[in-house]
Amino acid sequence: MAGSVVPASTGISGAAAVLRRGGLVAFPTETVYGLGANALDAQAVARVFEAKARPSFDPLITHLADAADLPGLVGPLPAMVSALAERFWPGPLTLIVARPSTIPTIVTSGLDTMAVRVPDHPVARALIAEAGVPIAAPSANRFGRLSPTRAEHVVAGLGDAVDLILDGGPTRYGIESTIVDARSGHPVVRRLGALSVEEIEEVVGRVEIELGSSGLPAAPGTLAAHYAPRTPIRIVIDSASAPVGADLRGYLAFRDRPPGDYAAVEVLSPGGNSTQAAAHLFDALHRLDAAGLTEILAERVPDTGLGRAINDRLERAAATWRPFDQGSNTVLVI
Ligand code: TXA
Ligand code: MG
């Protein structure tokens, strides 16, 4: 039945069969839930774009069950790409490689490069292995909206547009993978994500961060407006600078409850830990978004570790709600 939710513990074979016959399956990864289709089947992939209302210029990530499957798909890898794959896969790192001719261009939005990763989640890996094909999977949300970290978020956002939803509980990292282009030998981060820049730098030394500027962004998920709740969201420096008074304001705090009177408050990490805060970010925003608020005030978090990726997402969420900002690549996705 369309959109049915099945526990991951019993649903993997059935879900793999759905993928093999061209269907769409939402499944848990260690980052966020993905909306999967057979990456070798252009028609199945077209359904992913349709289900998400995703613009055709925004390419998908191809997911593999095992790092050992990559050379078979794309041929020999540049040394730095192999080194990063070896160190961080399975895990929340997406690498850019040359697109092999077996992957239809709809997956890569016509680019001659392909984003690929091996998720560190037993359900995702078992599903991909059993499907026996690479799986193209964006986050399982409508384009521009909050990413799903629970099966319930997928149901609320995509519902019947998905053939089957595998419920594997809440995801561990709660934000998307870090995207790195290491083909030249000098790694460039294209999207901040669940693998921190510091962790990558421990292995390869200093990396560049290029999140897209004018024109087409380096990774289209880096559009200035993205990850947005339906409720207008605004960034505040801390609770002392936040306006108070309106009774339907919500507040997204990092570690301390704000002193003001808010209709709803979410604290991301009472211990002040950015990894824990990342894990709760989208879940907290989904709850605030469902609370019937007129506005969400969101506090910036310290800019270290996963805090950078959190701030990046908060800024893009808030950008959706700012008037068109000329001179940047802001796109209103409402
Ligand atoms: O954690 C994740 O990466 C999740 C889970 C499901 O794996 N997936 C995810 O997919 O976040 P999505 O579609 O929401 O974001 C994919 C990002 C987009 O920003 C897209 O532009 C970028 O990957 N991307 C895809 N192919 C690319 C390429 N060839 N070069 C640069 N960026 C690319
Ligand atoms: Mg996404």
Give me the CATH number covering residue 155: 3.90.870.10
Q: Is 178 in the pocket of ligand 1 (CB under 6 A)?
A: no
Q: Is 61 in the pocket of ligand 1 (CB under 6 A)?
A: yes
Q: Indicate which atom in ligand 1 lies nearest the CA of residue 60.
A: 25
State the pLDDT at residue 261: 87
The structure tokens listed for 227 are: 């990850």
Condensed to tens digits (0 to 9), the pLDDT of residues 47-95 reads 999 999 999 989 999 999 999 999 999 999 999 999 999 999 999 999 9
Amino acid at 317: A
Judged against a pLDDT cut of 80, whether residue 212 lies above it is answered with no
Residue nearest to atom 22 of ligand 1 (CA): 219
If one compares 328 and 197, the residue with the highest pLDDT of the two is: 197
Residue nearest to atom 3 of ligand 1 (CA): 177
Distance 117 CA to ligand 1 centre (A): 10
pLDDT cut 70: percent of the chain above it: 90
- Whether residues 170 and 70 share a domain: the answer is yes
State the pLDDT at residue 326: 40
Query: pLDDT-derived band of residue 328, with 50, 70 and 90 as boundaries?
Result: very low
State the pLDDT at residue 333: 35
State the pLDDT at residue 330: 41
Distance 247 CA to ligand 2 centre (A): 32
Judged against a pLDDT cut of 90, whether residue 102 lies above it is answered with yes
Number of domains in the chain: 2
Quick one: average pLDDT of 276-304? 96
- Whether residues 237 and 289 share a domain: the answer is yes
Residues 6+ apart with CB under 8 A from 63: 29, 34, 36, 39, 116, 117, 118, 119, 124, 128, 134, 135, 136, 137
Condensed to tens digits (0 to 9), the pLDDT of residues 166-188 reads 999 999 999 999 999 999 999 99
Mutation test of ligand 1: which of 179, 306, 329, 333 has the most ligand atoms closer than 8 Å to its C-beta? 179
Query: pLDDT-derived band of residue 32, with 50, 70 and 90 as boundaries?
Result: very high
Q: Is 174 in the pocket of ligand 1 (CB under 6 A)?
A: no
Residue 205 domain-assigned?
yes
- Whether residues 241 and 194 share a domain: the answer is no
Distance 132 CA to ligand 2 centre (A): 24
- Whether residues 252 and 318 share a domain: the answer is yes
- Whether residues 238 and 271 share a domain: the answer is yes
Q: Among all ligands shown, which has an atom nearest to the Cα of 218? A: 1
Residue 167 domain-assigned?
yes
Q: Which residue range is the domain that position 108 belongs to?
A: 4-209
Place of tokens 């997406």: 94
Core vs surface per residue 162-188: b (16+ CB within 10 A) or e: bbbbbbbebbbbbbbbbbbbbbeeebb
Amino acid at 165: I
Task: Report the mean per-residue pLDDT for the chain.
Answer: 91
State the pLDDT at residue 3: 79
Residue 13 domain-assigned?
yes
Q: Is 114 in the pocket of ligand 1 (CB under 6 A)?
A: yes
**pTM surpassing 0.85?**
yes
Residue 81 domain-assigned?
yes
